[in-house]
Amino acid sequence: MQKNTITSTGLLLAALLFPLGSFAQQAPATADVRDLASSPRWLTTKVYIEGAPQTDVKANYPGVVGISTWDPERNRYEFFYADTGESKYNNGGGGYFFVTGDNKTHILIPDIGPTKTVIRKLETLNRSEFTYSREVPRDMAANNPLVRIYVVHTPYTGTVNTTPAITPH
């Protein structure tokens, strides 16, 4: 019950701090949260800064790069390192997620870790691509100016095994 109260409070704060009308672009009307389940795992294939989609800057943003799993039926997610398959759960890499009813905003609420809520703009969501954007300090360095990064994922078909820290109930 306490988890539901914390989750509800986080979502309310997110809605107040980031009103949906403040985003300039809209996610396509065909986006469907169930498309996250079309692949058991998604791989970050590109990260770019707004205005420079031709330049991949994944190396500058390792915290957003990896393999991810999404369970729309339970609203649960978990992130993994792409090279080892090790879970990022203990550092905020797992918890609850929500996509707003208008399919414009993707909200993460980690179970544990230093970050309480992450709000991301849903750019593309279909069976072959999942892309979100969000503002972060350039190169994820605390005192740098904010930039909008776009994080592109495609279904993962590689051989790295991932072992979830989150167990389905």
Domain-by-domain residue ranges, the chain?
30-155
Give this prediction's pTM: 0.80
- pLDDT score of 168 more than 70: no
What is the mean predicted confidence (pLDDT) over 42-61?
97
Measured in degrees and rounded to the nearest 5, phi and psi for residue 149 equal: -105, 150
| pLDDT band at residue 43 under the 50/70/90 scheme | very high
| pLDDT band at residue 17 under the 50/70/90 scheme | very low
| pLDDT band at residue 24 under the 50/70/90 scheme | very low
Q: What is d(CA 66, CA 58) in angstroms, rounded to the nearest whole number?
A: 10
pLDDT at position 169 is 58
- pLDDT score of 10 more than 70: no
Q: What is d(CA 11, CA 76) in angstroms, rounded to the nearest whole number?
A: 15
pLDDT at position 25 is 47
What is the mean predicted confidence (pLDDT) over 28-52?
84
Q: Which residues of 81-102 are buried (b: 16+ CB within 10 A; e: fewer)?
A: bbeebbbbbeebbbbbbbbbee
Q: What is d(CA 154, CA 114) in angstroms, rounded to the nearest whole number?
A: 27
What's the CATH class of domain 30-155? mainly beta
- The pLDDT tens digits for 137-151 are 999 999 999 999 999
**Mean pLDDT over the full length of the chain:** 84
Q: Are 105 and 122 contacting, i.e. CB atoms less than 8 angstroms apart?
A: yes
- The pLDDT tens digits for 103-135 are 899 999 999 988 789 999 999 999 999 999 999
Measured in degrees and rounded to the nearest 5, phi and psi for residue 81 equal: -70, 135
